[in-house]
Amino acid sequence: MEKKKIVDTIKLENGECIEKKFKSYLEMAKYAVDWTLFCHYKLRVNCVDGLFKILKLTNMQVSYTKEVGGIMYNYASPKESINISILINVEDKASLQEMKVQTDMVIITQSEKIYNFITNRGVEIIDISCSKDDNSLLYNRLKPYVDKFFYDYDKKIQTELLTIFETYTEERLDIPTVQTIEKKITDAIINSIDIQKVNIPSFTKSESIALTIREQLFNHMDSTVSVETLATQYKISEKSLQTAFKSLYGFTPSIFIRLMKLNLVYHELLQSSPSTEITILRVAQKWGFKHMGRFSGYYKELFLELPSDTLQRDYQLSNGMSVYCVERKDEI
């Protein structure tokens, strides 16, 4: 999938620290600071309520994020960096690309790759972006472990980082202080990784199929897709598919598909002008909803408004979900 940046994030100078609450996807994406968030699917009401704390250092950017949860999106980290994600708390189910995410995991990712993140409940994460500098001890130490993980069992890493965020708030730090903070972070991570094994993600056969199906649905949604057709396509029982989806994502396949389709309707209505010939019925049927009463109920439950309200509102993004995330070539 091609990287698409649809929200310009704010920029920070070295030593600058900010704290921002967000209550919408646009605010969340704006204050990600050098991270690119896109292709968002709302999976629960108020899923994008949360808090950012960001600290910009000379060779690192450290961000604390607390989200209510129930969201899926793609993201790309700052360019020319290697990234460390410390999972302080995962309330229920979450996954990062092809990895089950749990509390106390420390995950290494890279900037050249686009990752899919999904959670059905609240998450609390600290992300560290370390620049690709040949003199960077942390970068060189972690480079062999991209797309692998280890554990912060004794919570030494997160304790150090949370203390830093409590100590340094909205103020500009001098260079000696920045260097001291970078050394503390580097030492905490390297000391932890030196005393344990780095793990490679592993899955059951049915979970691997569920990952493949998620990728298929994320890139191409068809109005006729169903749990039965997916089970037949991938030669797996519907019961095994149900178990795998609930294990990875916390949703049954049928609810997961419905949520994705509701989001596609929402984004298409959001991007459409009421003065055009577009109708709610046509858009709903395009994405596979046949019973308009049930559709309206599901829609209002997730978005807290009627489809007609969405169609009447202006939106700040110039393109919709279909442009950035999903393909569907056949029209009704």
Burial class of 56 by CB neighbour count within 10 A (0 to 12, 13 to 18, 19+): buried
Number of domains in the chain: 2
Mean residue pLDDT of the chain comes to 88
**The pTM is what?**
0.89
CA separation for the pair 321, 266 (Å, rounded): 9
Q: Considering only CA atoms, which of 28, 91, 79 is closest in space to residue 54?
A: 28
Query: What was the pLDDT predicted at 1?
Result: 34
Q: Are residues 52 and 95 in the same domain?
A: yes
Counting as low any pLDDT under 50, the low residues of the chain are 1-5, 318-319, 322, 329-332
Query: What was the pLDDT predicted at 318?
Result: 42
Report if residue 63 sits inside a domain.
Answer: yes
Q: Which domain, by its residues, includes 278?
A: 205-324
Query: Which among 193, 218, 247 is the end of a domain?
Result: 193
CA separation for the pair 77, 105 (Å, rounded): 18
Report if residue 12 sits inside a domain.
Answer: no
Identify the sign of the CA torsion 171, 175, 180, 185. Answer: positive
Report if residue 1 sits inside a domain.
Answer: no
**For 53-106, how does the pLDDT look when each residue is reduced to its tens digit (9 = 90+)?**
999 998 899 999 999 989 999 999 888 899 999 999 999 999 998 899 999 999
Q: Are residues 111 and 256 in the same domain?
A: no
Q: Are residues 168 and 209 in the same domain?
A: no
Q: Give the gyration radius of the chain's Cα atoms.
A: 21
Query: Which among 159, 193, 227 is the end of a domain?
Result: 193
Q: Are residues 168 and 215 in the same domain?
A: no
Q: Are residues 318 and 217 in the same domain?
A: yes
Q: Which amino acid is at 107?
A: I
Identify the sign of the CA torsion 264, 69, 227, 219. Answer: positive
Q: Which amino acid is at 328?
A: R
